[in-house]
Amino acid sequence: MKIVEPLSLTIAKTLADLLEDSISSISLDVLAYKLNATSGDVRKVIESFSQKGLVRLVDNQIYLTEEGQSKVA
Amino acid sequence: MIFENPYLPYLFTFIAAYPISMLEYGHRKFRKNYLLLFKISFPFHLYGIAHGLLATFIYWVLFKKNLLPGGEVAAILNPLTIGLGIKGITNLNFYNIVSSKGKEPSDDKVQIIPVGPKLVMDSIEKYCETLIEDNHDHYLDAYIHKSIEALRQIPPATISQEIQKYLPHSLPKIVRETFMEEVKQNIGDNNGDLYFAMRLFANQYGLNRYKKFVTHITRKRQ
C-alpha cells in the first residue's frame, strides 16, 4: 500500500526548498494554493512550527528562522 | 514466394525492435525483475507487430497498384523509404491547442493536448511506469514487514532515537524535526505498530538508508 506524505512534512520540505531558491518569505495563502491544501490546515501546521521557533508568522507571511534552517543534527 | 519479399526482413526488424527496446527500458528502470519485464513486454510486442503489419500492408498496396519502382536498387531503397515514412508518421505528434475559457482574462491557460500515433507509445510507457511503481511498492512492503519482525523486540523510543542518526546530514532542522515528530506520532497512534513509521522512512529517504538503519539497530542489539 502506498503511503501519503503527511502535510506537515510536505510543508516543511517546501519551506526548506524555497529558502534554497533565496526567497525570504511566502504568504500563507500562496503556500496553501501551492500545496493544494486548505489554508486552515496549513495555518495549524505553521502555528505549531512557530511555537517551536522554527518559523515566524508575521501578517500571514511565513519567514524561516535561523534555527529552522540550521543543518546541525 | 513470401521469402522473396524484400520487406520481410523489415517486418521482422519491427517486430524485434520493440521487445529489444522494452528490454533495455525495463532493465534500466528495474533490474533483475524478470517477471515484470515479461509483463511489460506484451504491449511492446503488440505495438511492434502492429507496426510491422502496417508496413507490410503499405508495401502490398503499392505492389498491387504497380507503384513500386523496379530494378535492383529499388529492393534496397524501398524498404528504407517506406520504413522511414512510417517511422516519421508514428513519431508525429499533432498538437491540439485548447484555450480554456476562464473567468478572468489574466488566467487564460493554453492547454496543449498531444493527439497522434505517438500517443500509443506514450500510453504504453505510462502503463509500464505504473506497473513498475506498483511492483516497487510491493517490494518495499515485503522488506518492511520482514524487518519489523526483527525490530519488534526493540523499544520504540530507542528506534526513533536511532532513526535520527540515519537521516541525511544536510537536512534542515525544520524538516528533521517534522519528520521525527511524524514518526513518533505514527508509532504512538498505531499502538507500537511500526509499519507506517518505517514505510514513511523508506519512502522519504530511500530503501538503502532504511536497510542500513535496520542492520545497524539489529546488530547492536545482539
Structural domain boundaries of chain B? 2-92, 152-221
Tens digit of pLDDT for each residue in B64-98? 887 766 666 666 556 556 666 666 665 555 555 55
**A12·B175 Cβ contact <8 A:** yes
8 A C-beta contact, residue A42 and residue A15? no
Q: Is B205 left (phi over 0), alpha (psi -120 to 50) or beta?
A: alpha
Confidence of residue A29 (pLDDT cuts 50, 70, 90): confident
The pLDDT of residue B105: 45
Max mean pLDDT among B11-15, B90-94, B198-202 falls in B198-202
pLDDT (average), residues B136-147: 84
The pLDDT of residue B140: 83
The pLDDT of residue B80: 59
Which residue in B141, B169, B172 is closest to A16 by CB distance?
A: B172
Max mean pLDDT among A3-7, B2-6, B179-183 falls in B179-183
The pLDDT of residue B7: 59
Tens digit of pLDDT for each residue in B96-140? 555 544 444 444 455 555 566 666 667 777 777 777 777 778 888
Residue in A with minimal Cα distance to B172: A71
> What percentage of residues in chain A have a pLDDT greater than 70?
86
Candidate from B2-16, B110-124, B192-206 with smallest mean pLDDT:
B2-16
Residues in contact with B119: Cβ distance below 8 Å, sequence separation at least 6, in sequence order: B93
| More reliable by pLDDT, B155 or B38 | B155
Q: Is A53 left (phi over 0), alpha (psi -120 to 50) or beta?
A: left
Per the prediction, chain B carries an average pLDDT of: 70
Residue in B with minimal Cα distance to A49: B174
**C-alpha cell of residue B160:** 526513533
Comparing CA positions, the residue from B164, B190, B7, B157 lying closest to residue B81 is B7
pLDDT for residue B199 is more than 80: yes
**B173·A69 Cβ contact <8 A:** yes
pLDDT (average), residues A16-38: 79
pLDDT for residue A66 is more than 50: yes
pLDDT for residue A35 is more than 70: yes
pLDDT (average), residues B8-25: 60
The pLDDT of residue B205: 85
pLDDT for residue B61 is more than 50: yes
DSSP A17-63: HHHHTT--EEEHHHHHHHTT--HHHHHHHHHHHHHTTSEEEETTEEE
Taking the Cβ of residue A58 and every Cβ of chain B, the question of whether any pair is shorter than 8 Å is answered with no
pLDDT for residue B4 is more than 60: no
Candidate from B42-51, B56-65, B68-77 with smallest mean pLDDT:
B68-77
Shortest distance, CA A40 to any CA of chain B (angstroms): 18
The pLDDT of residue B106: 44
* A34-42: Cβ within 8 A, 24+ apart: A35/A7, A35/A10, A35/A11, A37/A7, A41/A7, A42/A7, A42/A11
pLDDT (average), residues A39-67: 84
The pLDDT of residue B167: 87
Sheet strands (E) in chain B? 94-99, 110-115
Per CB-CB distance under 8 Å, the chain A contacts of B194 are none
The pLDDT of residue B13: 62
pLDDT for residue A28 is more than 80: yes
Domains of chain A listed by start with CATH number: 7-65 (1.10.10.10)
Confidence of residue B216 (pLDDT cuts 50, 70, 90): confident
8 A C-beta contact, residue B55 and residue B10? yes
